[in-house]
Amino acid sequence: MSEGVPVTRAAVIGTGVIGAGWAALFLARGLDVTAWDPAVAAEERLRGDVAAMWPVLTRLGLADGASRDRLTFATSVADAVAEADVVQESGPEVLEPKQALIAEIDAAAPAHAVIASSSSGQLPSDLQRTCGHHPERVLVGHPFSPAHLVPLVEVVPGRRTDPDVADRALAFYRALGKRPILVRQELPGHVTNRLQVALWREAYALVQRGAATVADIDAAIANGPGLRWALLGPLVNQHLGGGAGGMAHVLEHLGPPAEAWMNDLSPTPHLTPGLVRRLVDGVDEELAGVDQAALVAARDELLVELLERKRERGLG
């Protein structure tokens, strides 16, 4: 693997919701972008998606030379990755097709190129298994939606990943303005989705047992701990809740009851047709009469404002 190769061209393989977000962000950061997707009218849809994302990216700040005109749509995976310094794969979350796609990328991309999968839960070692050329440059670079706005990226090396490649991936995402974390063990779902699933697990169980409605749970998080978590995260907030004594005080005084609560958490609920119906109906009731397109627009507007304020306060 070549060290210190500057990133000037990125390839985006798969241009659905996540891939389009990556493409828009790469362009906003002044890169040349070549994309590929097998879907009918994929190029037209991608260019429309990038145009829709461009105003908010402009507001957040474009790099010198940033232009939507630097987007090219290729007719094959090989053509898309032929000159790439970084390849961001965002294909379907199904192992065997993803392995085949990563292997095709590995066969055609320059030897120095980092190959990052947007996979939300596949293990990078599994993705490397079918690579016959340079499996050491394959890892997971998992974003969160909307990918052009949310800063977090989970960088997950596989067993065969060169540590230098992981370092280069972290540096690349930081240069984009992202906030990458290095996941130090391969785990299904990585780190953040496992944290999310832990919350969903108890939320589903509370709905199932009738302790709370879907709307109650959303209100509890959105108007309670979620407000703090968006700023500093759960563990630092726990530390701050201990006052001068910090985390040590919290664990000394609230640790035993918290451990009892953890032991009392509900068994893993089964997503039976009945529970699925209650969850779907609950969300439908919560959003009755709500313009969901306007809701998404308002969410993203507030998200941008929050990111701007966090950056101003040094909390980014």
Strands 138-143 and 114-117 turn out to be: parallel
The tens digit of pLDDT for each residue in 15-36 reads 999 999 999 999 999 999 999 9
Q: From the CA atom positions of the chain, what is the Rg in Å?
A: 21
Average pLDDT, integer, range 224-229: 96
The rounded percent of the chain whose pLDDT value lies above 70 is 98
Look at residue 1 in the predicted model and tell me its pLDDT: 42
User: What's the mean pLDDT when you consider all of the chain?
Assistant: 95
Between CA 241 and CA 227 the distance in angstroms is 14
- Tell me which residue of 107, 51, 48 sits closest to 77, measured CA to CA: 107
Pairwise CA distance, residues 65 & 146, whole Å: 23
Pure H helices in the chain: 17-28, 42-60, 77-81, 95-108, 124-128, 163-175, 192-208, 214-222, 225-232, 234-240, 246-253, 255-263, 273-286, 292-312
Provide the whole-model pTM: 0.93
Q: Which residues contact 7 (CB under 8 A, 6 or more apart)?
A: 31, 85, 86, 172, 175
**DSSP code string of 197-242:** HHHHHHHHHHHHTTSS-HHHHHHHHHTTHHHHHHHH-HHHHHHHTT
pLDDT tens-digit series, residues 103-161: 999 999 999 999 999 999 999 999 999 999 999 999 999 999 999 999 999 999 999 99
Architecture of domain 9-182: 3-Layer(aba) Sandwich (3.40)
Q: Which of 122, 115, 155, 119 is nearest to 136 (CA)?
A: 115
pLDDT, one tens digit per residue, over 51-106 is 999 999 999 999 999 999 999 999 999 999 999 999 999 999 999 999 999 999 99
Q: Answer whether residue 3 shows pLDDT above 60.
A: no
Q: Give the Cα separation of 148 and 52 in Å (integer).
A: 11
For the beta sheet containing 152-157, the strands, ordered from the edge strand earlier in sequence to the opposite edge, are: 71-73, 32-36, 9-13, 86-89, 114-117, 138-143, 152-157, 179-182
Q: Give the model's pLDDT for residue 315.
A: 87
The mean pLDDT value for 213-238 works out to 96
Distance CA 294, CA 60 (A): 21
Domain boundaries of the chain, sorted by first residue: 9-182, 192-312
The correct answer on CATH 1.10.1040.10 for the domain covering 192-312 is yes
Residue 6 has what pLDDT?
84
Residue type, 309: R
Give 172-183 pLDDT, tens digit per residue: 999 999 999 999
Per-residue pLDDT at 2 exceeds 60: no
Q: What average pLDDT does range 190-205 have in this prediction?
A: 97
